[in-house]
A and B are shown apart, each in its own frame.
Chain A
Amino acid sequence: MGSQFAVSTALSGRDFATFPDYPAEIRAPAGTTFGVSAYQINLGGEPITTAGDAPDVLVAFNPAALKVTLPMLHPGALIVLNNDSFTPRSLAKAGYVDDPRDGNTLDQFQVVTADISHLNFEAVRAFGLSKSESGRCKNFWTLGLLLWMFDRELEPVEAWIRRRLADSPAMRDANIAALHAGHAFGETAELSASLPQLSVEPAQMAPGEYRSVTGAEALALGIAAAGELADRPVLFCSYPITPSSPLLHRLTRLQELGVGTFQAEDEIAAICAAIGASYGGMIGVTSSSGPGIALKTEAMGLAVNAELPLLIVNWQRGGPSTGLPTKTEQSDLYQAVYGRNADTPIPVLAAGSSGECFDMAVEGIRIALRHMTPVILLVDGYLSNASEPWLIPIVEALAAIESNAPPEVSGGPGAQLLAYQRDPASLGRPWITPGMPGLVHRTGGLEKDYVTGHISYDPDNHQRMTEFRQAKVDAVADFIPEQALELGDENGDMVVVGWGSTYGPIYQAARRTGASFVHLRHIHPLPRNLRDLLAGFDKVLVPEMNNGQLATLLRDKLGIQPISFCKVSGQPFRISELVGRIEAERKGDAS
């Protein structure tokens, strides 16, 4: 089969030099006894920090190719497997006792499986090829899939096929059909490649034990850790949506940590069941992406009004509406901070990397339980599958998560009152759950009397409750750390303020230009000292993967005039474009 690998020639040919940013290289994997039955594409754009030239993508057409090539791969690499070739016989031939697709052999990789032989055969059936000729088309089927996943144009490859196979029209048309079928499969299955994350150079890594982790893995572990720290079971309720589903899959593997998962009938049911779980004394968590979060909006208001804890994870993807399910964005910040009916403030956090998803899950649940409020955690969509080296946290060293204990029952008829005796600092009410004797009370979505919790239409009370709900969210700022600089001096001509997954490229760009760097993890409320911190700089540059949402928030909350640098192409910022913009702003010639 090896000699048939037109793909290798194609990708090394000059047609493919037109691919932006990603010089491609193809070579045969070493050491397989089965001939060339797999190929490797090494994609490199920016000089990323992980080691040398290990492949980022492995397409394995059989178990032997997987076995031989696996040790060469980066953690987090993409593996595309042809299910049709994983027969008991071929597994045995490759020396696999257990199917590597089960178990945890492939845990540290992004694995995409498809019945490639079968799907390819169906795609080329109409062209009257022999069985072996049909089979050869699967190379282009797979290339079509990869071109979808890496957001590359089909046309150069198609043009190459037309030229190369001009003399055999049936093979030409079949290969083009296969290419398109693979591409369409990727789109239909909403597959996307995990984009490389830029992280801090190994030389700057703190000593300690590391592993590679994806955002979904880290967030799942963080949710479980929060349950452990709070000594409460967790009920995770969600509805499948790209790219949120990997979190659901990961959590199903952590059940022994007192984690349960509930796949609800829709997004609204998911958040409502999570609210029900929190009402019942478990830590309710739900997760989705922008369109699903929009559906959950009304229920968030219920959790605010009923003063119940809840973590809502939003894996942000491109929009509006269904938008770009497989493309990453940071465009749900307005939705999180401002996007509800009425005055309905909710604390908002953001994770800066896959590993940081762990910390922010713990932080989110800590805030939710302390203040008895829903908390939104924003994560850039691609971090779900993106892997990075992660300094493994020592969970035992983290502070326990306290929840507001139910009050002593005095024996009098005051249960309804006791439910709303709030902590003076956090303004969180006691977490009273059904089953507790003597504390029977009613709650819900209607406006409540501040003291008794009974339904109240009193104008003064609504004023007081509205102010209280904002004060409670503002009080979060009393408990979070002051904002620190990630890099640079406390005064200067330029500070770059970022949030979310832009951490890596901004860090590198700031380091190269000597600009200072502020990375926000607490979006709402902002850290108390942020205004003073930013006042030390002539210019505040805010790069973000949206149309200027954090910049608006900073103008609104701090009264400053930051410079927006927006990118909504579905691709992360490159260091070079950030460096260019910083330098241009310094010279004063940026548009």
Chain B
Amino acid sequence: MTEQLTAKDFATSQEVRWCPGCGDYAILKAVTQTLARAGAKPESTVFVSGIGCASRLPYYVETYGFHTIHGRAPAVATGLKLANPDLDVWVVTGDGDGLSIGGNHLLHTLRRNAGLKILLFNNEIYGLTKGQYSPTSRTGTVSPSSPAGSIDTPVSPGQFALGAGAKFYARAIDTDKRGLGDILLQAHAFDGASFTEVFQNCIVYNEDVFAAFTDRKDAANTQLHLIHGEPMLFGDNDGKGIRFNPETYGLEEVDATESPGDVLIHDERNAVLARLLIDLQSPVALGVIYRQPAESFEQAFYEHHPTRMQCTKSVADFIKGPNSWTVE
């Protein structure tokens, strides 16, 4: 029993039914590897999901799993976490599930800081329902429900999360095995609501929508991998950096060899910086963008409960009320 479990131990017998080549396969693999690396116990781990392609993931992980209803996984998971705070509870959702039909629950779960590991697979499209534009689709997205291009302004998952009061926001790319794995491990370790956005490639309905920065060939120049306390460097041989422009109140690229002093140091506790990083278009910021440890909702719930949910009295102590009388 003390034997270290491997990623394979977290695979179920169920046939995985995502489309061949779907980014979800890579995420699933990273998840099972993370569970193994974190020393998770199958019986103490629960995956709760909503509806959508991403939400099928619990069926493929050899832990407890609850495939709930569209958008509501954070609410179910909150109740579960209150009932048993010792459990390791993951929430798996997508851009439609988490930010459209379930946006309200995600908002409140993040502001409460319920101890859930929330993974949002963002593919900027509704896959399970055959390709309609989603709340993260870019304006002009041509889809079966927007043949002339979508007219909605997309929501930014990161800005949404920080606006809601999230205490942990990270970003990763589905096929970036090492980066995704490291981030999942940190998301898992966070004591509170960790919100991880995974850029996921839907090869059927929205192929290569993230190719501009996920393409490995030019990754050095299009991706900024953030590490707390370290300079924001990217490009070949880390020749480029990110600096703050006080005139535009924005971030911009700088030659790191010419102006090394201008390069910002990543401070994951700085919410203002996090908001700027979220909006950075090129390079795209990846890694833990914001992390601000705070008391989790379930900790506060039990601390404020006078008996920590234990029954210390009997109903008989309460049932008579202030005034009772006897009928002979």
Contact = CB atoms under 8 A, between A and B. Distances in A.
The answer to whether A and B interact is yes
B67 A256 contact: no
A212 B75 CA distance: 37
Interface stretch (B242-250, B256-264, B274-282, B308-316): B308-316
A277 interface: yes
Contact of B82 (A235, A275, A441): A235
A235 B301 CA distance: 12
A34 interface: no
Nearest to A223: B315
Contacts of B309: 233, 258, 260, 282
Contacts of A208: 326-327
B288 to A, nearest CB: 27
Interface string A414-457: 00000000000000000001111111111111100000001100
Chain A, interface SS category: mixed
Nearest to A265: B108
B324 interface: yes
A235 B81 CA distance: 11
A108 B324 CA distance: 10
Chain B, interface SS category: mixed
B43 A276 contact: no
B313 A257 contact: yes
Contacts of A105: 322
A254 B82 CA distance: 17
A437 B84 contact: no
Contacts of A264: 75, 108
B64 A255 contact: no
- Residue with the highest number of chain B CB atoms closer than 10 Å, among A108, A228, A265, A454: A265
Interface in A256-278: 256-258, 260, 262, 264-266, 268-270, 272-278
A224 B306 contact: no
B75 A440 contact: no
A163 B108 CA distance: 55
Interface string B296-307: 000001000111
A276 B79 contact: yes
Nearest to A262: B82
Contact of B86 (A206, A396, A435, A438): A435
B327 A258 contact: no
Interface string B1-19: 0000000000010100000
B96 interface: no
A429 B112 CA distance: 33
A227 interface: yes
A212 B44 contact: no
A341 to B, nearest CB: 11
Contacts of B42: 440
A272 B301 contact: no
Given A235-B82, A272-B79, A279-B80, A257 B325 contact: no
- Residue with the highest number of chain B CB atoms closer than 10 Å, among A224, A280, A284, A438: A280
A444 B66 contact: yes
A227 B65 contact: no
Interface residues of B, number: 61
Interface residues of A, number: 75
A108 B319 contact: no
B321 interface: yes
Contacts of B49: 444
B306 A256 contact: yes
B87 interface: yes
B68 A445 contact: yes
B80 A434 contact: yes
- Residue with the highest number of chain B CB atoms closer than 10 Å, among A272, A276, A454: A276
A298 B76 CA distance: 13
A221 interface: yes
A31 interface: no
Contact of B104 (A233, A269, A299, A393): A269
A396 B316 contact: yes
A463 interface: no
A211 B76 CA distance: 38
A260 B82 contact: yes
A209 interface: yes
A197 B102 CA distance: 42
A302 interface: yes
Nearest to B62: A440
A147 interface: no
B82 A268 contact: no
B112 to A, nearest CB: 9
Contacts of A158: none
A210 interface: yes
- Residue with the highest number of chain A CB atoms closer than 10 Å, among B87, B306, B327: B327
Contacts of B58: 442, 444
Contacts of A313: none
Nearest to B321: A211
Interface string A384-398: 000000001111100
A198 B104 CA distance: 43
B27 interface: no
B78 interface: yes
A298 B69 contact: yes
Nearest to A276: B79
A202 interface: yes
B320 interface: yes
Interface string A278-295: 111110100000000000
A246 to B, nearest CB: 15
Given A395-B316, A445-B69, A268 B44 contact: no
A300 B21 CA distance: 36
A23 to B, nearest CB: 28
Interface in A402-417: none
Contacts of A394: 316
Given A256-B307, A258-B307, A441 B79 contact: no
A588 interface: no
B320 A254 contact: no
Contacts of B62: 440
Those 5 A-B pairs whose CB atoms lie nearest each other, nearest first: A276-B79, A444-B67, A280-B83, A273-B79, A258-B311
5 contacts: A217-B321, A233-B311, A278-B79, A394-B316, A441-B65
Given A233-B309, A434-B45, 16 more contacts: A108-B323, A208-B327, A235-B79, A258-B312, A264-B75, A272-B75, A273-B76, A276-B81, A276-B83, A279-B76, A279-B80, A280-B83, A435-B87, A442-B58, A445-B51, A445-B68
